[in-house]
Amino acid sequence: MFKKTFLLAIPLAVALAACNNGNSAPTANHAGANHPSATEKVSILNVSYDPTRELYQEYNPVFQKYWLEKTGQTVDIQQSNGGSGKQALSVINGLQADVVTLALAGDIDSINKDKPLLKTDWQQALPDNSTPYTSTIVFLVRKGNPKNILDWDDLVKGDTQVITPNPKTSGGARWNFLAAWAYAKQKNGGDDAAAQQFVTELYKRVPIMDTGARGSTITFTQRGLGDVLLAWENEAYLALKETGDQFEIVTPSLSILCEPPVAVVDAVADKKGTRDVSTAYLEQLYTEDSQRIIAKHFYRPINPKVAEEFKHQFPTLQLVTINEHFGGWAKAQAQFFSDGAVFDQIYTKKKS
């Protein structure tokens, strides 16, 4: 089962271990003025979203080894995990994140809402729009699939109960919502009204909304609530790995390409003098060895060679994108998730 120690959204110091084989990655000048001396230990904080715990628990020691060998400097990496929107708000409110690895670009953009903590073009700092891995949304059902859930339509049949987190606090929940909307809209010839009717019916079947994806996984797998969990693909596979005799994964006919980006929080990194190590920390996610770690934890690697190595692990399905189908995150946030927007309208109807 998911270990309780993995569920705490608190800084986690990771011990030095493992190694990196020196594959190439985007490079920066790591000998700048704000690079502390090699004899001075440096500490960075990665503020991330819910289901990345296990990924970074393995990646962090690999980076520590790489950085020590490259610079002679010891780096302590602290980790904070939680619902992506909630994590972004924590950074806005003063949590000193050197880097953020959140569920969606809109959450990173929101960090600049009150004062500029990041460069406005942060998404151009690294390859692939600063997205070193992708994922999608799938269904986790109980063994034997007793409700015979095969696609999105089955979620609104009979007395089926659906577990999904709160889109107000969880990035994964927003991906869930948009995947359901995209399916219903395509099925109904582009009709937004039909899509809204579908997701309204879906959310009537949600008995509880946790603040983050991992909380919803716990609700479904350990508390036994619900018939189906809408989940990040990697989270579903991790649940299957931990409790494979109790659950099955159902891949719908259509889902959404989830693109969780990464960024240096410039204001914090410059103030702490950690820009070089923070930049390298994100750059190294693109090496082949790191991409294999990413795939091992059931994220879809962005590196074509590694993606080919792991193609057997990931089913093929139709994937819509946030930019092409929703006009980007700024537009999607305003239309669906801002105060008084579509989700609030749907949830108000549910409570009335």
Other CB atoms within 10 Å distance of the CB of residue 350:
12
Domain shared by 244 and 342, yes or no: yes
Number of folded domains in the chain?
Answer: 2
pLDDT for res 247: 97
Domain with residue 108: its CATH number is 3.40.190.10
Q: Are strands 228-232 and 137-142 parallel, antiparallel or unpaired?
A: antiparallel
pLDDT at 29 over 80: no
Verify that 331 and 184 share a domain, yes or no.
Answer: yes
Rounded Cα–Cα distance for residues 311 and 50 (Å): 25
212 plus 332 within the same structural domain: yes
CA distances in angstroms from 259 to 158, 174, 232, 331, 334, listed in the order given: 33, 12, 11, 16, 19
**For residue 127, pLDDT beyond 60:** yes
Domain that holds residue 266: 4-134+260-313
pLDDT of residue 40: 86
pLDDT band at 352 (very low <50, low <70, confident <90, very high): low
In terms of domains, do 101 and 206 share one? no
Asked if residue 213 and residue 157 are part of one domain, the reply reads: yes
Q: DSSP characters for 111-167?
A: TTSSS--S-TTGGGSSHHHH-SEEB-EEEEEETT-TT---SGGGGGSTT--EE---T
252 and 326 inside one domain = yes
Instruction: Write the pLDDT tens digit of every residue in 179-199.
Output: 999 999 999 999 999 999 999
The SS3 call for residue 106 is helix
Share of the chain above pLDDT 70, in %: 88
Question: Binning pLDDT at 50, 70 and 90, where does residue 152 land?
Answer: very high
Do 181 and 187 meet the contact criterion of CB atoms below 8 Å apart?
Answer: no
**Residue 347 pLDDT level (bands cut at 50, 70, 90):** confident
Helix segments in 30-126, DSSP class H: 53-71, 84-92, 105-110
Q: What is the pLDDT of residue 279?
A: 99
Alpha carbons 301 and 131: distance in angstroms, whole number? 10
pLDDT tens column, 230-281: 999 999 999 999 887 899 999 999 999 999 999 999 999 999 999 999 999 9
222 and 344 in a common domain: yes
For 122, residues 6+ apart whose C-beta sits below 8 A from its C-beta are 108, 130, 263, 264, 266
Tell me, yes or no, whether 71 and 184 share the same domain. no
Tell me if 104 sits within 8 A of 260, measured CB to CB. yes
129 and 271 together in one domain: yes
pLDDT recorded at residue 27: 43
For the chain, the average pLDDT equals 91
Residue 333 shares a structural domain with residue 205: yes
Residues 268 and 156 in one domain: no
User: Which position has the token pair 């099925």?
Assistant: 187
Say which DSSP state 94 is in: T
Distances (CA, A) of 36 to 7, 96, 129, 215: 32, 18, 29, 38
pLDDT of amino acid 32? 43
User: In this structure, are 245 and 266 located in the same domain?
Assistant: no
Amino acid type, 61 = P
| pLDDT at 2 (0 to 100) | 56
Task: Tell which residue, 98, 8, 104, has the closest CA to residue 60.
Answer: 98
